């Protein structure tokens, strides 16, 4: 059964303090690993797709990396507007299910 575990559940950082969010996964053949951002009261907003171990993608202050067992979302010099819940999800090659982790609530203090 496909599974996604995210850590930590919540993270408070000072503005400019870099850190990483973790996503550990088990899946029967990885089709894609996805990162989303979700603001309160809104639907998840797509950030990145990673397909194979060693792949990296960047967008502004965010960089996502992938190994065979986990993915990291690195946040460099965050700003208060980066505060949100970050969700990780996987899709296996066996079927079209997309399974999510419980998310990491990130709060950046000014």
Binding site for another protein (CB under 8 A): 31-32, 34, 41-46, 49, 87, 89, 91, 95-103
Give min distance, CB of 2 to another protein, in A.
10
**In the complex, what is the shortest distance from the CB of residue 34 to another protein, in angstroms, rounded to a whole number?**
5
d(CA 103, CA 89): 9
Look up residue 99 and give its two tokens. 């399974």
How many residues are present in the chain?
110
**Which residues, at least 6 apart from 70, have a Cβ–Cβ distance to it below 8 Å?**
22, 23, 24, 25
The residue (of 57 and 61) whose beta carbon lies closer to another protein is 57
Q: Measured from the CB of residue 18, what is the shortest distance to another protein in angstroms?
A: 25
């Amino acid at each position: 059964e496909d599974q996604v575990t995210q850590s930590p559940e919540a993270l408070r950082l000072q503005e400019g303090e870099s850190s990483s969010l973790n996503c550990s996964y088990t899946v029967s053949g990885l089709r894609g690993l996805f990162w989303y951002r979700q603001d309160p009261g809104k639907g998840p907003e797509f950030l990145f797709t990673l397909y194979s171990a060693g792949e990296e993608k960047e967008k502004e202050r965010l960089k996502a990396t992938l190994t065979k067992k986990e993915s990291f979302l690195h946040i460099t010099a965050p700003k208060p507007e980066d505060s949100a819940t970050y969700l990780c999800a996987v899709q296996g090659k066996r079927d079209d299910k997309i399974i999510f982790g419980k998310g990491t609530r990130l709060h950046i203090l000014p």
